[in-house]
Amino acid sequence: MRQEPPGAPVPLTRHLRVHEDHGHTVLELRGEIDIAAATEIAPHLDRVTARDGSRVVIDLRYVEFFDCSGLRLLYRARSRVLEHGGRLRLVCTHPLTLRVLKVTGLSQLLPPLATLDAALGRPGATSGTL
């Protein structure tokens, strides 16, 4: 069995790992984000986005497939974070997922960033909204 290195994100489901980094809660979505995965992820996402002033990063770099269920998760997360005075950033580099975000207009509401460093606002990070 493969051991995760110390400080590695904690897998909450097979589609979600969560860790804290520079005052942000980072949710790494993984694999195929469809209706079944969204059902697993939603309760964890809701818990994180319900906190007042939360700073959340959703990392889609490990996503292989992303459908309308994933879009609903992102839109819901954005709405909930804004309701509670928080901030939500998105990391995405997969060309097909970027296309879906652009075609649906979600990239205008939640501009995808190219790196986790840029989303965390780390000094010297290569920013760049895609």
Domain assignment present for 106: yes
* Parent domain of 19: 10-120
Domain assignment present for 91: yes
Beta-carbon-side half-sphere exposure of residue 59 (alpha carbons within 13 Å)? 22
CATH of the domain at 98: 3.30.750.24
Evaluate the CA torsion angle 79, 76, 17, 112 in order and state its sign.
negative
Q: How many other C-beta atoms lie within 10 A of the C-beta of residue 4?
A: 10
Domain assignment present for 125: no
Structural domains in the chain (count): 1
Domain assignment present for 128: no
Domain assignment present for 129: no
Domain assignment present for 27: yes
DSSP class of residue 51 equals S
Q: Which two tokens stand for residue 53?
A: 């002033």
Q: Write down the residue that tokens 């290569």 correspond to.
A: 126
Domain assignment present for 126: no
Q: What is the pLDDT along the chain (130 residues), one digit of tens a residue?
A: 434 444 555 567 899 999 999 899 999 999 999 999 999 999 999 999 999 999 999 999 999 999 999 999 999 999 999 999 999 999 999 999 999 999 999 999 999 999 999 999 976 555 455 4
pTM: 0.85
Is beta strand 24-33 parallel, antiparallel or unpaired with respect to 16-21? antiparallel
